[in-house]
Copies of this chain bind each other. A is one copy, B any other.
Amino acid sequence: MREGDEALLMNTDDIRGFFASREQLDMADYLTLEYYVECVGDIETALAHFCSEQSTAQWRRVGHDEDFRPRFGAKVIGLQIEGELEQLSYPVQHSETGPIHACRVTIAHPHRNFGPKLPNLLTAVCGEGVFFTPGIPVVKLLDITFPEPYLNAFDGPKFGIEGIRDLLKAYDRPIFFGVVKPNIGLSPAHFAEIAMESWLGGLDIAKDDEMLADVEWSTLAERSRELGLARIRAEKETGEPKVYLANITDEVGSLKEQHDVAVRNGANALLINALPVGLSAVRMLAAYTKVPLIGHFPFIAAFSRMEKYGIHSRVMTKLQRLAGLDSIIMPGFGSRMMTPEEEVKENIAECLQDFGHIRRSLPVPGGSDSALTLETVYRKVGSVDFGFVPGRGIFGHPMGPKAGAASIRQAWDAIEKGVSLERYAEGHPELGAMVAGARRSH
């Protein structure tokens, strides 16, 4: 919270207490935070406030000779001044005057201030202190690095990529998801028919749309009953394991019950909209779940799309993995998804790179996908460790969902064989229909 402006004045000694070098600190006690900031006025003063506001705003009691900063203060440990700006990158009302500098700043933030708890972590690193620092009207949290002792308090994904592959017995290739469409309005019986077709066509995972959860006209109980039975039939017919991915996004007080209903009925993976339920609810559910937990991305764009303001999507991917999602659906490649390619790649890397003892999550970059986009996505990801998730690219296929799913598998076969889609389409009418459709619309 804030105080009278008078109390905001800091002298040189006050400011110095919020700067340190990595060597002076036991970094096992600190998270490392990267921010982009636009500082108005004196840079060091603004950054001292930035540290003060996100940690121990008033570091001594009146009338006591004490200093809480060494133990509890956040500290600047790195600063790169990118340049002076004529004006803020975005107009924001603020109280300071003076030159404006764009900076990258690295902060060591003592995690003893909040502990290994996601809501309290978020409060510290992207809460009031960070977004209401005098002299810093524009700020973006770019990254968080966690020391081993902090990571050790988290379990992370229970299954991870390997668990999902084992469930499907699918190795050395991408995992093929499909979002059953029409996404809203289908009766459970019709929904099951369509999912069935897509499994028979070669899909691994038929999923609920992230907007379809437990509603009166398609209760989770009824839908998962229909889909659970259909899944078993599909497995018998194809001889391959299949997954029904049920969306149990709901009020957090109902999540465990929704998990139980869906899993009992045969859903063998669960979808959860991470930010709408909250990352902490994801962590709770991840500790509880008997099946892989797959996250979807609603809400994240609201604070991550601006280049220089808000919170980078990479931070959210990292926190979703930390919270325990076995797979993370995220905005994928192509201008359709309004996300720079480099950012998509960073988010994929966040799922796959070393992260203490935390298992790898399966990244699922989604958007505008069909048999026609698979190769591009595969090349950009650079490995088979990803999920591919068309919606209308399967369920809007002119020959129906079975053909839609088949077209995806055919596209993958073409890639594996090193044959062009056009050539492979000869003799594969499902793929052929997609190739012909693309030709018509150009």
Docked-complex contact A211 and B113, CB < 8 angstroms: yes
Q: Bound complex: CA of A233 vs CA of B441, how far in Å?
A: 78
Docked-complex contact B57 and A126, CB < 8 angstroms: no
Chain B: minimal CB distance from A43 (Å): 19
Residue of chain B at shortest CB distance from A121 = B276
Docked-complex contact A251 and B280, CB < 8 angstroms: yes
A289 within 8 A of B: no
A interface, size bucket? 35 or more
Interface string of A381-400 (1 = CB under 8 A from B): 00000000111110111111
Docked-complex contact A95 and B4, CB < 8 angstroms: no
Interface string of A122-149 (1 = CB under 8 A from B): 1110111101101001000000000000
A296 within 8 A of B: yes
Interface string of A82-125 (1 = CB under 8 A from B): 00000000111111000000000000000011110111101110
Chain B: minimal CB distance from A374 (Å): 11
Q: Bound complex: CA of A363 vs CA of B56, how far in Å?
A: 25
Docked-complex contact A253 and B131, CB < 8 angstroms: no
Q: Bound complex: CA of A43 vs CA of B126, how far in Å?
A: 36
Q: Bound complex: CA of A400 vs CA of B334, how far in Å?
A: 59
A72 within 8 A of B: yes
Docked-complex contact A62 and B216, CB < 8 angstroms: no
Docked-complex contact A7 and B392, CB < 8 angstroms: yes
**A31-65, CB < 8 A from B:** 54-63
- Please give, as numbers and ranges, the residues of chain B lying within 8 Å of A63 by CB-CB distance: 400
Partner of A112, one of B94, B123, B216, B338: B216
Looking at A13-21, A224-232, A303-311, A417-425, the stretch in contact with chain B turns out to be A303-311
- Please give, as numbers and ranges, the residues of chain B lying within 8 Å of A334 by CB-CB distance: 95
- Please give, as numbers and ranges, the residues of chain B lying within 8 Å of A95 by CB-CB distance: 334-336
A157 within 8 A of B: no
**A301-324, CB < 8 A from B:** 301-303, 305-307, 309-311
Q: Bound complex: CA of A336 vs CA of B9, how far in Å?
A: 14
Partner of A91, one of B5, B181, B307, B366: B307
A327 within 8 A of B: no
- 18 chain-A/chain-B pairs, Cβ below 8 angstroms: A4-B396, A5-B368, A55-B211, A58-B183, A58-B391, A61-B190, A90-B90, A90-B305, A90-B306, A94-B335, A95-B335, A118-B251, A120-B211, A127-B273, A132-B338, A253-B287, A281-B281, A302-B303
- Chain A positions near chain B (C-beta within 8 angstroms): 1-7, 9, 54-63, 68, 71-72, 90-95, 112-115, 117-120, 122-124, 126-129, 131-132, 134, 137, 179, 181-186, 190, 194, 209-211, 213-217, 249-253, 273, 275-281, 283-284, 287, 296-299, 301-303, 305-307, 309-311, 331, 334-340, 366-370, 372-373, 389-393, 395-401, 434, 437-438, 440-441
Sort A-B residue pairs by CB-CB distance and give the 6 closest, nearest first: A278-B278, A3-B392, A127-B298, A68-B185, A1-B391, A131-B301
